[in-house]
Structure 1
Amino acid sequence: MSPTAQPDPQPDSQPDPQPDSQPDRQPDPQPDPRSAPRPGALQPLLPSDPSSIAGYRLLGRLGAGGMGVVYLGRTDNGELAAVKVTHADQADQADFRARFRREVEAARRVASPWAVPVTGADPDAPEPWMATAFVPGPSLGEAVSAHGPLPERSVRILGGALARALAAVHEAGLVHRDVKPGNVLLAVDGPRLIDFGIARTTGESALTSTDMVVGTPGFLAPEQAEARGAEIGPPSDVFALGCLLAHAATGRPPFGTGAVDALLYRTVHDEPDLTGVPEGLLDLVRACLAKDPAQRPTAEEITARLTEDTPGTAADWLPASVVRTIAERSAAMLTLPEIDATELGASDPVDQPTPNRRKFLLLAAGGAVLAAGGGIGAWAALPDDDKDRKATPPPKKERHWVIGVHADLTGPAKDIGIAQERGAQLAVEAFNARKDRPFTLELKVSDDGGDKNRALAAARELTGDPDVLGVLGPTSDYTGLAALPAYDEALLPLITVSAGLNLLTNSGSGQGLSVLQICPQHAIAGTGLAYYVLTKTRSIRPGILQERTDDTYAWQYTGGTNFVFRRANVRPVPRVVPAGTTDYKRVLGEMMAEGMDAYVHCGLTPSAVLAARALDELGFTGMRVTGQHVFEPRFLMEAGDAAEGWILGAPVVDPATRKEASAFVAAHRKRYGAAPAFYAGESFDAVNLMVQEVVKIVRSGKRPDRTALAPLLRKVRYDGVMGGYVFDGSGAIDAVGTFMYAVENGRYKPLEFAPAGPPKNRQV
């Protein structure tokens, strides 16, 4: 966003989010989030894709990434498989085939009904491939994210089955090393453990460096977190299983979320947060999470403690909402492209009555769904389509569409949420006042109260209304992340003007498929602060303080500023302080003693207030800057005179500085009796951006399809009353987008846009 045109391009690359001190970590081979399919969806084959591989007829794409492509394949007898094919350039790497061959061999050595079996492989092919039985259900991580924690009985059955799978892994002389929710698929007859890509034989020398952290932070044992390779063994998988069971029972990892280095530190030094784990499971989970590997139970011992429940063949071990997801995905397998009718039987299908969905499943026994491990239990939980499908309501004579607002109207960010609702309301009223409008608009508001536990329900209130074409919001980072599964599932466009968390559009798991961020992501905003310091001062030792109340936000700002200072060959004075720190005078005094000549605060308002007071008492005269989450009236009120002279970066422009916004400001005053608050103008623009594209569709004679709207919006350049907007392929704003303010006489005085690159007199 810019006042007249786009700012200068961003830095050459995205900021490095990893702190310098973090050990190397082998990245998981995940799909590119900018092109990943909707979770559970089958995407069409591309012209460059083969039609078959080694007897598997390829029906579509399940996912793709830097390592290769995963296809859905079918054998001549109707069995489905996930066929993983690597890129030829990967296969040419010296150690790649050794790693791939090891993955195939590891998976083949595991004999368990709760581990997905290998059905074919060729590590020596020009493009190595491996096929495993296809499971149409969601991953555990996806199910918990979309439907909430599992009940105790479900967790017990889950734990018992996975313990059996791990017992088979360990009996084969292997260690899985990456037991996490994303590597557990849910089927009606029980879970399945997948992905032996980084498994290794007990005592085997790793093909990676000895100081490399391998696996997924948050689901690693302490010995893995510290890369103590010689100590990694079966107890490491048991620790990960304990983390997974805690996540399944509570909806959150036991060591929290946020910066990777913080997760690794907590895993090694802190006790897990097991609040909410059912009493009947608490002792077992706590034992699995013992810091000392010798104190953890074995997989066989866990199995013995969870023998009273077994999945059987029915779907009742899972909540109904998860069963429905499995059933819907199983149904999709019955409509796979180009399945020959003769394969259903010898009779001419034209002479047969059209079966309903349940009958068709029975005809396909031994084919798509049953071969996929889906069973028929899922269908028993669903009504017959012919009897219970609701009739489609007749079209309205006078068509109207709805714009949703998902906001915090009653919680900690209610001032921002109310401003966003008002901006959206004015956009809708302005559209409805047009004589040439091709339809009418309504506004539908859903309040999450700033509570991430309410966010998913608030989102479903909007996604469940078929007339809602797009949504403004959510207000906050973590309510946005919690609501994301609902918007992804509906493919409903979501434009946020205040949630800058990079995970909303760049999670690495195919999330954020419909999200557009008008505000810059926090790491990019951090680069803006650093460039501003370099542009306006001659700083050679800027201080960077990372305060961990909101770990992810602070870490991303720190990463952005560090990136810029390193490229400018400027060596900062760093400090990281835990949440609850109060003695800022001591911490900042030490930083001044090390030569700090400018100060960047990466934290929230309460700690910024303490830092402002401490720097004032210490007589610090250098530039003091901070970011979005301190840009609020509270900082001015609580810091008082100590706030004077601070520079703050925010993703919003003061409407009073924009002549293009004069009509909007006047309308706001007339409607609400006051000048628009920050974030109202950007919300006004966001709604108009969505409406502009819907009008184009309607005037072309087509019916708006909300599931196809987000890709169109990402390609649009829009000039609104607050500036210009253009997006990159992931939906993030393609600009720095940070506006700078100075505290002057107890108010925020607008300055200018943050620079998008280094000053001309700096060598970066």
Structure 2
Amino acid sequence: MDELRPTDPARIGAYRLLGRLGAGGMGVVYLGRTDEGSTAAVKVILPEYAADEEFRTRFRREAEAARQVRSPWAVAVTGAETEGERPWLATAFVPGPSLAEAVARCGPLPARSVRVLGRLLSRALTAVHTAGLVHRDVKPGNVLLTVDGPRLIDFGIARTGEATALTAPGLVVGTPGFLSPEQASGGATATGPASDVFSLGCLLAYAATGRPPFGSGAVDALLYRTVHDEPDLSGIDDGELRALTAGCLAKDPAERPTARGLDERIVEDAPHGSVDWLPEDVVRLIADRSAEMLALPGIEPTVVEEPASAAPGRRRFLALAAGGAVVVAGGGGFAAWEALRDDGQGTAKSGGRPWTIGVQADLSGAGKAAGRAQERGVRVAVERFNSRADRPFTLQVKALDDRGDTGRAVKAAEEFARDRDVLAVVGPTGDAETGAVLGVYDEAMLPLITVSSLALVYAARSRKSFFQAAPSYAVLTEPAVNRLVLRPDVERLGILLDRSGGLAAYTGGYATNLLTGVLTTGTTYPRVVPAGTRDMAPVLADMLAHGSDALFYAGDGAGAARTARALAATPFKGPRMAMHTAMVPGFIEEAGEAATGWEFTAPYTDATAPAAKEFAAAHRKLFGSAPAHWAAEAHDAAGLVIEALTAFGKRPARAALVARIARSVYQGVSRTYVFDETQTLDAKDAYLYRVENGRYRFVGPAPKTAV
């Protein structure tokens, strides 16, 4: 929760506002508290939209829809004002994490947990459908977890079967990945209660496997798979659960069970006040999130005195709850447990425990240029913060060199995890090191923010405390497709995938081939060459013979130089681009004049960018030189952590800091940082560079796909 801003109201209706829970393009959600002590999530329309009659009609519909739903497994409306100057809607406040957050941090749920979810959410949907409504946005982010069961939230796009949707014809309403085929087809088929059942099937598959059943990626491709492809249910080993989920995901709405029928099919008891239906780490996550309630102004907890001991397990959690060491919030039966909080305490500007941001990087190995730039970027951010007269605490930096070696990376991570003064870590530099350390950071719930490890997937299934604060290799290929193919002189894109580039090249080449057909009407001619191929001339001759008008190279710098030299010996004059992994000094040195005109998409900005002016000046002041690539992004990662830290009134627990970062919207030098449900950067900002006069020239932001 963020603090109230000076422009925020102090009260809305009967609720005194305590802080901001979130904000969107149309409104702000506050945490409110009545004089009697009950809490609620209060959604308020922004003034600029309150005068919009169409928007007000939609908001009125949301309030009316939510009031009609009567179920212990759906949040209840506690108040509303739809006709006043500032329309608002209040629902019971649920302090637990969303299902999306729980799976992202704790991994897929066991079969019994998923069956309980299915049964109770089917009851919530039965209440929705009995009221004559269709929810239309059943997804993990709209399911909050508590110890006694899930809660379905957000009726913002729910409507009656007879109501006219306030959307344009053919507009897809909902969340791709959890849409029904009826929704994904843009209204070609009427959307009814069966649509919610399909979305529930997607949600159950996600809960059981950690991924949506129709994958992820480009929206158009995802919608196509939803309508035409079979779901991927691999990973659901429980035969009964797999069959249940498959039934919900039938393409024909008539073949799916009703929500009531689904409830009757699932043989699993409701929790009845027990937390045994959830894994231990999810229970702790719920308790940690609920514990934040104890810090709210005006809420006085009743705490049972307990002798000092190790952190309690789930059984003691239950004993405390039964013994009265709880704060009941807003009629929802949710509790906060002081005994399960971390031992962090506040620190003044001087004295007390240090507040430390760690840097884990390759400072002396093959990736030392990027690693050192990132360390400097973090130090600039900390220095700028410490120079503030109004700073609430003083920060320090602790850097560990893993040399780009996975074994050393694990040891560095273990040292950071043991050091309780370290509140967050920026790094590691490379994909292999990142994959090796995720388990260590997750176990310690120590926030880990990488800006240069761009893999789509990692070997570790659990990514509870990991934030990927940069676009992936796949995302970076989208601007390349736009740049190369969306032009009148290009019909076919030649894609050269050089295995010398490893996983990055494979991901980039594959994504480019896929996205060309999704984003454009152009075609592709892909070629894969084995690692170590020295002579690129035959491959290029074949690509040109098949009508390639443009070229995209996915590989390393040495291979790119060989490709550039071979291409220069042909009549080819079309555009050519490569991944940033090839954008190294050696490319220009080895390619010579043949490097001129090559362009690159990169996740990092440049010191000459207008937005980097103040940061570049601070870097020059501290280090006497302009910042290198990756420095601004590491500076942003540290700034993100610092902003999250300052939102607390005292030293936060690591888990609480993870939760705060996950909810952050941070405007950095390189981009705006917002994370999706998997704690991956929810942005596609990339930059263009071009070789001119023997150097890399910063062109500016890369073109984005029009929406």
Common fold by TM > 0.5:
yes
1:140 and 1:184 in contact (8 A); partners too: yes
Q: Is residue 755 from structure 1 mapped to residue 703 from structure 2 by the alignment? A: no
Distance in 1 between residues matched to 2:587 and 2:201, nearest whole Å = 41
**One-letter amino acid of the counterpart of residue 697, structure 2:** F
Distance in 1 between residues matched to 2:412 and 2:226, nearest whole Å = 33
Partner of 1:169: 128
> Which structure 2 segments of 5+ residues have no match?
308-316, 380-393, 457-463, 496-504, 531-538, 607-626, 642-649, 675-680, 703-707
1:61 to 14, 20, 37: 20
Distance in 2 between residues matched to 1:221 and 1:308, nearest whole Å = 26
**One-letter amino acid of the counterpart of residue 324, structure 1:** R
Partner of 1:623: 575
Distance in 1 between residues matched to 2:595 and 2:163, nearest whole Å = 60
Distance in 2 between residues matched to 1:734 and 1:256, nearest whole Å = 18
Q: Is residue 182 from structure 1 mapped to residue 130 from structure 2 by the alignment? A: no
**One-letter amino acid of the counterpart of residue 250, structure 1:** T
Distance in 2 between residues matched to 1:312 and 1:239, nearest whole Å = 27
Task: Please list the CA deviations of residues 161-198 of structure 1 after superposition, one character each: whole Å capped at 9, or x if unmatched.
Answer: 11111122122221111110000000000000111111
Residue 340 to residue 621, structure 1, CA distance change in 2 (3 Å)? closer
Task: Please list the CA deviations of residues 361-383 of structure 1 after superposition, one character each: whole Å capped at 9, or x if unmatched.
Answer: 789899634734325xx85xx95
Partner of 1:124: 83
Distance in 2 between residues matched to 1:457 and 1:325, nearest whole Å = 26
Residue 526 of structure 1 deviates from its aligned partner by: 6.9
> Which structure 1 segments of 5+ residues have no match?
1-41, 345-352, 430-437, 502-510, 563-571, 655-679, 695-702, 717-725, 743-748, 759-764
**One-letter amino acid of the counterpart of residue 451, structure 2:** T
Distance in 2 between residues matched to 1:520 and 1:253, nearest whole Å = 18
SS of equivalent to 1:125: coil
Residue 101 of structure 1 deviates from its aligned partner by: 1.4
1:114 to 70, 73, 82: 73
1:43 and 1:61 in contact (8 A); partners too: yes
1:533 and 1:623 in contact (8 A); partners too: no
Task: Please list the CA deviations of residues 451-509 of structure 1 after superposition, one character each: whole Å capped at 9, or x if unmatched.
Answer: 9xxx999979746633446644344689989979979x9796846246499xxxxxxxx
Distance in 1 between residues matched to 2:410 and 2:203, nearest whole Å = 21
Distance in 2 between residues matched to 1:62 and 1:426, nearest whole Å = 33
2:552 to 601, 618, 623: 601
Residue 146 of structure 1 deviates from its aligned partner by: 1.2
2:345 and 2:651 in contact (8 A); partners too: no
Map 1:676-715 onto structure 2 (within 5 A). 682=629
Partner of 1:92: 51
Map 1:205-604 onto structure 2 (within 5 A). 205-280=164-239, 281-339=241-299, 355=305, 368-369=328-329, 371-375=331-335, 379=337, 404-406=358-360, 420=370, 443-444=399-400, 462=416, 465-468=419-422, 471-475=425-429, 494=449, 496-497=451-452, 499=454, 540-542=488-490, 545=493, 550=507, 554=511, 574-575=522-523, 596=549, 599=550, 601=552
Task: Please list the CA deviations of residues 627-683 of structure 1 after superposition, one character each: whole Å capped at 9, or x if unmatched.
Answer: 3256589999xxx99x988825256899xxxxxxxxxxxxxxxxxxxxxxxxx9646
1:121 and 1:131 in contact (8 A); partners too: yes
Residue 272 of structure 1 deviates from its aligned partner by: 1.6
Map 1:625-640 onto structure 2 (within 5 A). 625-629=577-581
Residue 154 to residue 648, structure 1, CA distance change in 2 (3 Å)? same
Residue 601 of structure 1 deviates from its aligned partner by: 2.8
Residue 424 to residue 301, structure 1, CA distance change in 2 (3 Å)? same
SS of equivalent to 1:62: strand
Residue 542 to residue 129, structure 1, CA distance change in 2 (3 Å)? same
Partner of 1:350: none
Residue 354 of structure 1 deviates from its aligned partner by: 8.4
1:602 and 1:626 in contact (8 A); partners too: yes
1:520 and 1:736 in contact (8 A); partners too: no
Distance in 2 between residues matched to 1:753 and 1:500, nearest whole Å = 26
Residue 529 to residue 107, structure 1, CA distance change in 2 (3 Å)? closer
Partner of 1:191: 150
SS of equivalent to 1:83: strand
SS of equivalent to 1:214: coil
Residue 129 of structure 1 deviates from its aligned partner by: 0.8
Residue 160 of structure 1 deviates from its aligned partner by: 0.9
1:187 and 1:374 in contact (8 A); partners too: yes
Distance in 2 between residues matched to 1:218 and 1:520, nearest whole Å = 19
Residue 623 to residue 443, structure 1, CA distance change in 2 (3 Å)? same
SS of equivalent to 1:231: coil
SS of equivalent to 2:696: strand
SS of equivalent to 2:227: helix
Task: Please list the CA deviations of residues 135-165 of structure 1 after superposition, one character each: whole Å capped at 9, or x if unmatched.
Answer: 1100000111111111111111111111111
1:524 and 1:736 in contact (8 A); partners too: yes
1:210 and 1:229 in contact (8 A); partners too: no
Task: Please list the CA deviations of residues 277-330 of structure 1 after superposition, one character each: whole Å capped at 9, or x if unmatched.
Answer: 132311111121122222222212221222333211012211122212221232
1:159 and 1:245 in contact (8 A); partners too: yes
Residue 95 of structure 1 deviates from its aligned partner by: 1.1
Partner of 1:27: none
**One-letter amino acid of the counterpart of residue 108, structure 2:** P
Aligned length: 601
1:498 and 1:651 in contact (8 A); partners too: no
Partner of 1:201: 160
Distance in 2 between residues matched to 1:612 and 1:477, nearest whole Å = 27
Task: Please list the CA deviations of residues 391-442 of structure 1 after superposition, one character each: whole Å capped at 9, or x if unmatched.
Answer: 999xx99999977455799xxxx9865765577799999xxxxxxxx99975
Task: Please list the CA deviations of residues 690-739 of structure 1 after superposition, one character each: whole Å capped at 9, or x if unmatched.
Answer: 99999xxxxxxxx99997999xxx999xxxxxxxxx54564999997644
Residue 119 of structure 1 deviates from its aligned partner by: 1.2
Residue 450 of structure 1 deviates from its aligned partner by: 9.4
RMSD between aligned residues: 6.1
Q: Is residue 142 from structure 1 mapped to residue 86 from structure 2 by the alignment? A: no
Distance in 1 between residues matched to 2:9 and 2:522, nearest whole Å = 52
